[in-house]
Structure 1
Amino acid sequence: MPVIRRINGRPPQREVRRHLVRRVVLVPEPEWHNSSCDFTTEQINALVAADARELRRKLMEATATQYPTVSDDPQVQAFYEMCREKGTDHNMAKIFALRDPPSLRTNKTFLANRGNPFEGDDAKAKRCVAAARAGGVNPTGKTYLGGLAKYEGDPKAWIDGKGDVERV
């Protein structure tokens, strides 16, 4: 068991003792047993900080080459790497880290709760349907998204899924 020496002639405080114990774990015992001088609090803090920086650097190097980059956000990437280290496969770790489950990318979810854009305005509905048919689009089973339209009744605003929105 390593020897804990006095600091500046008095017993170490609780916080300093915690650093000493950490230091004992990180440094081989012969350094402590063969040392004939006392350590100041500043010296101990500097040694612990240097070891922490070195360990952090080694950890970053080890994980940077091991896992692919899934996000530019460092917190998201760190969470992804933590999931992978715990044994989660790539796809599940990516879903967890990005908070993007596959069910949110379906047409059903995308079109849910859209409602009727022409509710209470039958004249506008007839104009838009007529413009769509004139433009070569069959609006049956499709939804009209006015935000995609360049003008009222634009045939490109009739969609039946996310793919149509991405094409526009």
Structure 2
Amino acid sequence: MEGAPYRVDVRALDQFPALELYEMLKLRVDVFVVEQDCAYPELDGKDREALHLRLLDGQELLACARLWQPDGTPPRIGRVTVSPAHRGKRLGEALMREAIAECETRFAGQPIAISAQSHLQEFYRGLGFLVTSEEYVEDGIPHIDMERAAS
């Protein structure tokens, strides 16, 4: 994003210095486990095969997401989170636009899948995602599967 008030960083898990990895995982746990009051295995084994996209202001982590492609399925964007201290600045949209662009580059010609919290359906629809499943409950939170057509 040109002129963006952040820097984009994309890397594999084993490329993170320990403190940067700690900050990213702490943000995810703070939001998904503590804030959303959802006891589930945040560290689910998928991070090892994923790329991790972060939005940074200097060294401060603003937002992050992970990108991966499970065997034989479309690439996925997941663990989309914005730091509570930086919400209300349209960083969620910026994060998703960066993640979509990264997927379109790395996984060209393929649709992109997400498992979205149901209350965010309109947000993701605005980014070109369409609902592909009935609502289901995952870790106590209503979700829907969505997919964005290949560009």
Higher RCO (CA < 8 A, seq sep 6+): 2
Relative to total residues, which structure has the larger strand share, 1 or 2?
Answer: 2
Q: Same fold (TM over 0.5)?
A: no
Name the TM-score, length of structure 1 as normaliser. Answer: 0.19
Relative to total residues, which structure has the larger helix share, 1 or 2?
Answer: 1
